[in-house]
């Protein structure tokens, strides 16, 4: 941007009576939070008291705050992390509380380049215990790019309900990273 454009842009911002130049409130940008809630939970005004939201610095910050919150309140014995997963899940939970055990549940079968849904189900149903946290990638699983089908999500939800596990959805759409990994794996 040339300095003339810079000055002009600044003037336009100053002239706009609707522009808000204040710091954001502690919880973040209210409209962003509403939009995010609507996207994820399809919220109605009646849901307002049942969902709490906070804006964080990127997805890493969201994972960190979520892990810290659960570590300090629920104090799970174990957090279940998909195998494979985004490289930082393990580190973030270790930082939140090193005493919380980090265990893997099978997710991807490298032989057939497909989900290991049975492996995930059998590990979670036989080994996870009440109050454990299960990290689930809501979409665009990193690094495999393979997601559960609706039917499989229902089965995962039932296991969480039956065993009273705490699902932790990490929703991070990473088209680029996922695309690169799939190229490395196969066609």
Site residues, ligand PLP (CB under 6 A): 58-60, 63, 86, 137, 142, 170, 172, 174, 177
Pick 60 or 125: Cβ nearer ligand PLP = 60
Pick 12 or 169: Cβ nearer ligand PLP = 169
Nearest to 138 by CA among 69, 47, 63: 63
Minimal distance in Å, beta carbon 139 to ligand PLP?
10
Minimal distance in Å, beta carbon 60 to ligand PLP?
3
Minimal distance in Å, beta carbon 175 to ligand PLP?
11
Minimal distance in Å, beta carbon 63 to ligand PLP?
6
Pick 68 or 122: Cβ nearer ligand PLP = 68
Pick 14 or 169: Cβ nearer ligand PLP = 169
Residue closest to ligand PLP (Cβ): 59
């Amino acid at each position: 941007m040339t300095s003339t454009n810079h000055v002009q842009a600044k003037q336009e911002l100053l002239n706009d009576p609707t522009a808000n130049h204040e710091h954001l409130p502690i919880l973040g940008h209210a409209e962003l939070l509403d939009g995010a809630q609507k996207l994820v939970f399809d919220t109605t005004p009646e849901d307002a008291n049942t969902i709490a939201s906070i804006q964080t610095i990127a997805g890493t910050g969201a994972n960190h705050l979520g892990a810290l919150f659960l570590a300090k309140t629920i104090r799970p014995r174990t957090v279940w992390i998909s195998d494979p997963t985004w490289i930082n899940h393990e580190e973030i939970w270790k930082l939140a509380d090193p005493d919380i055990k980090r265990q893997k549940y099978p997710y991807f079968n490298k032989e057939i380049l497909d989900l290991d849904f049975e492996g995930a189900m059998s590990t979670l149903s036989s080994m996870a215990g009440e109050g454990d946290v299960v990290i689930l990638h809501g979409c665009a699983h990193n690094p495999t790019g393979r997601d559960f089908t609706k039917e499989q999500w229902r089965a995962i939800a039932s296991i969480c309900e039956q065993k009273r596990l705490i699902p932790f959805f990490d929703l991070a759409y990473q088209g680029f990273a996922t695309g690169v990994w799939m190229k490395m794996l196969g066609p």
